[in-house]
Every structure is written in C-alpha cells, then in structure tokens.
Amino acid sequence: MTSAALWRRLTAEFAGSALLAALVIGSGIAAQRLSPGDTGLELLENAAATAAGLFAIILMFGPVSGGHFNPVVSFTDAALGGLTWRDAAAYLPAQVGGCIGGAVLANLMFSDPAVSISAKHRASGGHFLSEIVATMGLLLVIFALARTGRARTAPAAVGAYIGAAYFFTSSTSFANPAITIGRMFSNTFAGIAPSSAPSFIAAQVVGGVLAVGLIRLLYPGVTPAQAADVVVPHAGNGQAKAAIAEGDWDAPGGDRRE
C-alpha cells in the first residue's frame, strides 16, 4: 500500500472527527427529543448510535489515515513508533477542528443555534478517574489488536468498547481530548461545560501515559510496523515501512532483530 500524502491523511482525520462529533452530539439531541425525561433510555440511544457510527466512520476513513480521530491515540502511536511526532502534531489541529465543526453541524441539523456553549458541569473525582480508565481501556483495545495481528477487527472492537464504556464509566467515556473540546460547543445532552473540560483532558492525558507503559509491559515486542497499523491498516504507515526496508525491523508482526 502506497503511503498517503500528509494532506490526504489530515483531510481524513478532519472529516472523520467532524462526523464523530456530529454523531455523538446529534444522536444525543435526537435521544432527548425522542425520549424526554428518560435519562437511561436517552443514554442507551446515544451509546448505541455512537458505537455503530464509530464502527462505520473508522471503516470509512481508516484506510487513509488510520482512523485515529483522537490526539491521545495519535501521540500514543508516535510514542510506539508507528507515526512520526511531526505527523502526530499535525493530526492534532485537524482532529480538534473537525470535532468543533461537527458540533456546529449537529446543532444546525436539529435547528439549534450553530454554537451554544454547554452548561453541563461534569468535573468530579469520579469523572476524572473514569476518564483515566476509559482512555487506558481504549488504547489497550487498539494496540493489543495491532500487536497480535488483528487490527482489521479494530473498528468493531473500538465501537463495542466505547458503547459499553458509556455505561461502566460515570463520565460516559469521552476518552478523547478533541471530542471533549468539540462537545463544549453544544448545550445539549452530550455537551460539557468549558470549566469541566480541562479536568477531562488532563485525565485523558494521564490515561494515555499510563497506557503506553502498560502496553510496553504487556506487549514488549510491539514494533513500529505493528503500531503503524493503528487503528486499522492504512496508506499512511510509510514510517514503519521505511524502517522495515532499512532492516531495522522484521516484516509486520515480527519482533526486533537482535
């Protein structure tokens, strides 16, 4: 597979992040209107739509950029050698900008003001811990599949994990700094108040750092070639291919040469 140009990967990350935010926020608005006053049912509808939609979005854009849509995934990938730090830094504004654009799109699709700053306060100790756990779990799912040669199953696994994490975490598993920022721009079911966002983002960064250590502990042989297949095998994994060509690594799925 030929390595995709950076601008193509950034376009995929922007578009995928926008659809992700529109999916999360739009399904939350729909749930509120379809099941008013029934928070449990609203959350179930929001979670089901997010899980199914995330599966589809990763399949849609993953072959171009990997389907990260999440700065923590991108920087974890860089830490494990699957993405250059420069590219991870370039992914960041595309992901954040996409999520903000997706929030505006969701608001407009439901005839709400284009931007409405959320007043939903979520910051608490339980939420902070939940975001650490949710982010660690997400990264472990992604990189465990890549390390064991099952990256092509990641779209379904990631969707299933996020859908489940809506219910087993008190924070409803944002697990993504870009979507956290995007959700500030919609004062609806899925929104988050700007005052709560820094706590969520800090917890997600902590979860990412802890996940890198745990991945290295559980899968010490993870190679740049395997990390380059995150979230799914894609055209942007030129760095790992170059490393293989230079003889630094065995074929994808292999271990470092001694």
| Residue 177 placed within a domain | yes
| Residue 139 placed within a domain | yes
Burial status of residue 11 (CB atoms within 10 A of its CB: 0-12, 13-18, 19 or more):
middle
| Residue 146 placed within a domain | yes
CATH code of 181's domain: 1.20.1080.10
Burial 167-187 (b: 16+ CB within 10 A, else e): eebbbbbbbbbbbbbbbbbbb
Burial status of residue 20 (CB atoms within 10 A of its CB: 0-12, 13-18, 19 or more):
buried
Per-residue pLDDT tens for 213-234? 999 999 887 788 888 888 888 7
| Residue 154 placed within a domain | yes
Please tell me the predicted confidence (pLDDT) of residue 3: 66
Q: Which runs of E-coded beta strand occur in 2-161?
A: none
Please tell me the predicted confidence (pLDDT) of residue 4: 82
| Residue 257 placed within a domain | no
| Dist. CA 255–CA 131, nearest whole Å | 32
Please tell me the predicted confidence (pLDDT) of residue 38: 97
| Dist. CA 95–CA 231, nearest whole Å | 15
| Residue 163 placed within a domain | yes
Per-residue pLDDT tens for 137-154? 999 999 999 988 898 999
pTM above 0.95, yes or no: no
Domain that holds residue 17: 6-236
- In the predicted model, residues of the chain with pLDDT beneath 70 are 1-3, 236-258
The tokens for 77 are: 């990938």
For 256, phi then psi, to 5°, come to -65, 140
Burial status of residue 99 (CB atoms within 10 A of its CB: 0-12, 13-18, 19 or more):
buried
| Residue 115 placed within a domain | yes
| Residue 69 placed within a domain | yes
Give the chain's domain count: 1
For 249, phi then psi, to 5°, come to -140, 155
